[in-house]
Structure 1
Amino acid sequence: MRIYSCHFCSSPVYPGHGITFVRNDAKEFKFCRSKCHKNFKQRRNPRKLKWTKAFRKAAGKELAVDSTLTFAKRRNVPVRYNRDLVETTLNAMSRIEEIRQRRERAFYKNRMRGNKERALASDKKLVESNPELLKMRDVELRIKEEKRIAREERKRQEEEAADQQDEEMDVSEEEESEQEQEEPQTILLKNKRRNKVKF
């Protein structure tokens, strides 16, 4: 099963998916979705669109130059089948994938290093230039606290009301049972005369 890569965005194109465009010179272009196909037909440069892998590599956001990436290149060199060769190749592929992922994580950490300090510095600068923001934040926190207290008070009142209703229900049930015991039972007997008989 061969997994092609999209000509425009470089994402994987699995069998039975995507669009194949064949030019007049018999060159094939595989696209993962219609979005890539339309952008290709509009002659857009994938290095200028932020959602493509070409842009990410050109902008230095992904690992572009590494020895592990050369193994993923397609080679059309016919090799006679050898079971040992296939086994060593599969083991090497899994090992190279592990190494590549580890290097990508290290690259990402190096790229993101210092972001927190820069964000903190920009926030401090914003607060220094706009001191009224702190007052607004205090007001927001106070309103939030008042809403929380009101919510808790409402919940407590609802619980008290529910307890009172439960007590009233218990009392009313006891009274009904007492009244049922005190009242004489009337039984209607149906006969030709339709007389009411009390016991």
Structure 2
Amino acid sequence: MRIETCYFCSRPAYPSKGITFVRNDARVFRFCRSKCHKNFKMKRNPRKLKWTKAFRKAAGKEMTVDSTLQLAARRNVPVRYDRDLVAKTLKAMERISEIRTRRERVFYKKRMAGKRARELAIARKLVAENEHLLPRLRGSEKRRLEEIAAERGVAAEELDAETVEGVLKAGGKRNAKAFGGEVRRKRLLADGGEEEIVERVGGVVGDGDEDDDDMDDMDMD
């Protein structure tokens, strides 16, 4: 049983699966699914699509030079059937698969080394640029965060968002301050009484029946 390779994404195309496209010049293209076939007909470049192996190899996300990859190359050389040769081949395929898996794991670890430090650097840069948008911490909250960081053996800036949010919730709700203060004024009601209204920047602070009173005044007018 021969397992073909998808022309577009390089995934395995098993027998009786996928799509086979034969061009007018008798060239055969094998696709593992309709997604690859449609992208091929739209004349898209596999190296520019992130879900193809061609893109991953060009971006350095997969091994490109390795001795185990050479054994997967197709060799159209007829060989006389030999039972011992078949047994050795199957045993070698299993061993090569193990070696390739181990090398891919090592390659991934080397490629991802330092990712955490890079992410922290980007996050710190973002916080430094938008520091004016962050809420100000109280002195007690700062001390609590420093204590937690000392217990974990890390810097206070490296604590995760969940820990900081928990400390802020434990400190209680913050009273929102209205910039510009407040304005008090009196309003005459329809029955001849007076009502005092306190206005803030965020809106009008008073009883819940103010909207009804406004509607009554409009009706009287």
TM-score of the pair, normalised by structure 2? 0.60
Q: Separation in 1 of the partners of 2:171 and 2:46?
A: 50
Q: Secondary structure, in 3 states, of the residue corresponding to 1:21?
A: strand
* Number of the residue aligned with 2:8: 8
Distance 1:17 1:144, change over 3 A: farther
Q: For residue 191 of structure 2, what is the aligned residue in structure 1?
A: none
Match of 2:66 in 1: 66
Moved more, 126-135 or 22-31: 126-135
Distance in 1 (CA, whole Å) between partners of 2:164 and 2:54 is: 47
Question: Which residue is equivalent to 2:127?
Answer: 127
Aligned to 1:80: 80
Aligned with 1:110: secondary structure?
Answer: helix
Percent of matched pairs sharing the same residue: 67
Aligned position for 2:29: 29
The CA distance in 2 between the partners of 1:3 and 1:47, in whole Å, is 23
Q: CA deviation at 1:135?
A: 1.6
Whole-angstrom CA distance in 1 between matches of 2:22 and 2:93: 31
Q: Deviations over 1:67-90 (max 9, x none)?
A: 100101111111111111111111
Cα distance in structure 2, aligned partners of 1:2 and 1:145: 66
When structure 1 is superposed on structure 2, of 125-134 and 7-16 the one drifting more is: 125-134
Change (3 A) 1:89 1:134: same
Q: Which runs of 5+ in 2 are unaligned?
A: 137-160, 174-221
1:30 aligned counterpart, secondary structure: strand
Equivalents in 1 of 2:79, 2:171: separation in Å?
73
Amino acid at match of 2:5: S
The alpha-carbon deviation at position 139 of structure 1 amounts to 9.6
SS of the residue 1:105 aligns to = helix
Which position in structure 1 is the counterpart of 2:50? 50
Residues 120-167 of structure 1 deviation map (CA, whole Å, 9 limit, x = unaligned): 1122222222224542879965459879xxxxxxxxxxxxxxxxxxxx
Are residues 70 and 145 of structure 1, via their aligned partners in 2, closer, same or farther at CA, if it must alter by over 3 Å? farther
In our comparison, the structure showing a higher alpha carbon Rg is: 1
Q: State the alpha-carbon separation in 2 of the partners of residues 76 and 47 from structure 1.
A: 28
Displacement over 6 Å in runs of 4+: 136-139, 144-147
Amino acid at match of 1:37: H
The answer to which structure, 1 or 2, has the higher relative contact order (CA under 8 A, 6+ apart) is 1
Q: Secondary structure at the match of 2:50?
A: coil
Going from structure 1 to structure 2, the CA distance change for 1:18 and 1:146 (only over 3 Å counts) comes to farther
Aligned mates of 1:85, 1:145 — CA distance in 2:
74
Q: Which residue of 2 aligns with 1:102?
A: 102
